[in-house]
């Protein structure tokens, strides 16, 4: 079964089926974090000729269509909301043949796998999909072309990874823009989130086994011990100080001996404190 017509919401049954009458070329994971693509090496595309690609992701695969020689200048094409890679079928054959065009299906669209049930589809997740596909194709620098929602995703990707994009083409889209005062902090935090996630997926390491003694040593102090807040967690330190300055007599912070799981390992250490708080009549009473 082929992808539904561009611009139409696909029925669920169509999403996981391979297209009939078209050759499939899989992107195979040879080394953790590294993918090799097979895509009409050394040939130019002719009108209507393309190949199918699939890139492994933790929840299944991201599907894509490719036109042209993989030796050509890379162009990644991003479709809009409730659309799919077929939206570029008529445009790409009219574009320069010196490029290698890859039109991907965002997760949950076209022939790409849905994310797990209950998972949201945020713009940043689509940006992460783009980063995954670029890594799979081993593209360090490429052109982005996006239509509608795909243009917004492309703009967001350009903001986060400007060194990876040489040109940006927006179709019925204004891209992406942040307020000036938010730009640096937002870009830094979101890029860190994506990079750490993909790095973790690429490593695919077996969890380290620790002895009971070593585990006990690592669980030894809680996360919010005052003398560790300066070096470990600036946010927690600032939050604690804000609580104390704002709530004043309405709050009392109590430090007790134990680990992060003191409530589980030594419940008697905190049970009395909590019980007193639950039973006092005056909400301003001290613990």
SS3 assignment, position 224: coil
SS3 assignment, position 51: strand
**93 to 44, 46, 48, 68, 77: CA distances (angstroms):** 11, 7, 7, 9, 13
Helix (H) or strand (E) holding 126: helix 123-136
Q: Mind telling me the catalytic residues?
A: 148
Region at 121 (left for phi over 0; alpha for psi -120 to 50; beta for the rest): beta
SS3 assignment, position 200: helix
Looking at 79-204, which runs of residues are DSSP E strands?
Answer: 99-104, 142-147, 165-171
Q: Which residue has the tokens 């049954």?
A: 13
Asked if 154 and 126 count as a contact pair (C-beta separation under 8 A), the reply is no
């Amino acid at each position: 079964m082929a992808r539904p017509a561009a611009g139409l919401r696909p029925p669920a049954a169509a999403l996981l089926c391979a297209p009939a009458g078209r050759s499939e070329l899989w992107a195979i994971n040879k080394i953790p974090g590294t993918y090799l693509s097979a895509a009409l090496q050394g040939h130019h595309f002719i009108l209507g000729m393309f190949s199918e690609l699939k890139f492994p992701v933790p929840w299944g695969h991201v599907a894509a269509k490719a036109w042209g020689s993989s030796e050509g200048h890379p162009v990644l094409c991003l479709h809009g909301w409730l659309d799919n890679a077929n939206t570029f079928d008529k445009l790409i054959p009219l574009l320069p043949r010196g490029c290698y065009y890859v039109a991907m299906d965002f997760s949950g669209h076209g022939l790409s796998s849905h994310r797990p049930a209950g998972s949201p589809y945020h713009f940043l997740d689509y940006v992460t999909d783009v980063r995954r596909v670029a890594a799979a194709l081993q593209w360090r620098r490429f052109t982005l072309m996006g239509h509608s929602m795909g243009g917004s995703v492309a703009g967001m990707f350009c903001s986060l990874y400007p060194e990876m994009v040489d040109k940006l083409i927006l179709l019925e889209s204004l891209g992406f823009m942040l307020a000036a005062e938010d730009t640096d902090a937002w870009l830094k935090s979101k890029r860190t989130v994506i990079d750490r996630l993909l790095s973790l997926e690429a490593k695919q390491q077996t969890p380290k086994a620790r002895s009971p003694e070593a585990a006990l040593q690592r669980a030894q102090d809680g996360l919010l011990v005052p003398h560790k807040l300066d070096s470990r967690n600036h946010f927690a330190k600032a939050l604690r100080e804000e609580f104390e300055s704002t709530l004043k007599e309405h709050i009392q912070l109590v430090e007790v001996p134990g680990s992060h799981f003191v409530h589980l390992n030594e419940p008697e250490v905190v049970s009395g404190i909590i019980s007193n708080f639950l039973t006092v009549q005056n909400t301003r009473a001290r613990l």
